Amino acid sequence: MPLLTLAHSPDPDDVFMWWPLGSESEPPVFDTHGFRFHPIAEDIQQLNRRAITSGDLDITAVSIHTYPHIKDRYRLTSCAGSFGDGYGPKLVVRADRRGRVADPLAFVADPSTLVAIPGVNTTAFLVLRVLVGREFRFVELPFDEIPGAVQRGEAAAGLLIHDAQLTYARHDLAELLDIGLRWRDAKGLPLPLGGNAVRRDLDERFGPGALEAVGRLLCRSIAHALDHRREGMERIGARYPELDSSTLDRYLSMYVSQRTLDPGPDGRRAIAELLALGRSSGLSPDAGPLDLLECGPLAQGPRGD
């Protein structure tokens, strides 16, 4: 019985999407046709680097900006994409310094400004770098350490991803710029932040049709999670004591939706636009044609609560 590594970031939307697949200690909630899954939670930049350098994970979350570096080894699934539709990563400073910043992008470009970022391979960094139009000083930190670093004055600004987009005010931080909103205003499209990548060699390792079968199972997991939202929130809520139920619900509503099952025409255009931006800016190689691994019929899970 094949055991596949399923790597994801530790943020709530990823955990919510994959709980139906079970783990080595808990069975899946539906028939996975002989496949078992071993969940691994790691910081997204660590997963980006791991996909680029070793490519050892069978299934992994990656930033869309990372995909051109791994396209020969991995294939993006049509499901499990993370899109900011008029919202997204936020550039923040300490609240007591917000009034001193007239132009956020000029502030970032200033050589005296140090920006804490969640990784050079993240989509958030790519879009901010293009908006600024030049190199700027930054330090890479795990995403959950950035708010504290800005609050303590170790960085002048921070680029926030995941649930920190909703909780930064608790750290006495204030927003300078919403990257997703700026992208929507400029492109008229949602901002494709993260995706899910599956190794292209599954058919060679497990037999013809394995890659497509796994893709359908991943999509079905998301469909089941969406159809059993209340159960999913109860299952994962204890992992995030810092998030009250209303904040958790709001975050999941932002990043796990029908677009997570399928990006739709505008989502596909948005991915292509972002990949083209990375190429034209010289910050990533050519991704080539986008060949998403489509869901297929198993995307339809049972209806529930």
270 contacts 190 by C-beta, under 8 angstroms:
yes
111 contacts 137 by C-beta, under 8 angstroms:
yes
pLDDT at 301: 38
pLDDT at 187: 96
**Nearest-CA neighbor of 124 among 76, 157, 167, 169?**
157
pLDDT at 305: 42
pLDDT at 238: 84
3-state helix, strand, coil split of the chain in percent (to 5) is 45, 20, 35
| Phi and psi torsions of 176, nearest 5° | -100, -40
179 contacts 191 by C-beta, under 8 angstroms:
yes
Contacts of 57 (CB under 8 A, 6+ apart): 5, 7, 40, 47, 50, 51, 199
Question: Helix (H, G, I), strand (E, B), or coil: what is residue 120?
Answer: coil
pLDDT at 13: 94
E runs forming strands in the chain: 3-8, 36-41, 59-63, 74-76, 82-84, 90-94, 115-117, 138-140, 157-160, 173-178, 191-199
Q: How does strand 82-84 pair with strand 74-76?
A: unpaired
Instruction: Give the residues across from 91 on adjacent strands.
Output: 159, 177
pLDDT tens digit at each of 305 positions of the chain: 799 999 999 999 999 999 999 987 889 999 999 999 999 999 999 999 999 999 999 999 999 999 999 999 999 999 999 999 999 999 999 999 999 999 999 999 999 999 999 999 999 999 999 999 999 999 999 999 999 999 999 999 999 999 889 899 999 999 999 999 999 999 999 999 999 999 999 999 999 999 999 999 999 999 999 999 999 999 888 888 888 899 999 999 999 999 999 999 999 999 999 999 999 999 999 999 999 999 865 444 333 34
Structural domains in the chain? 3-83+191-299 (3.40.190.10), 90-187 (3.40.190.10)
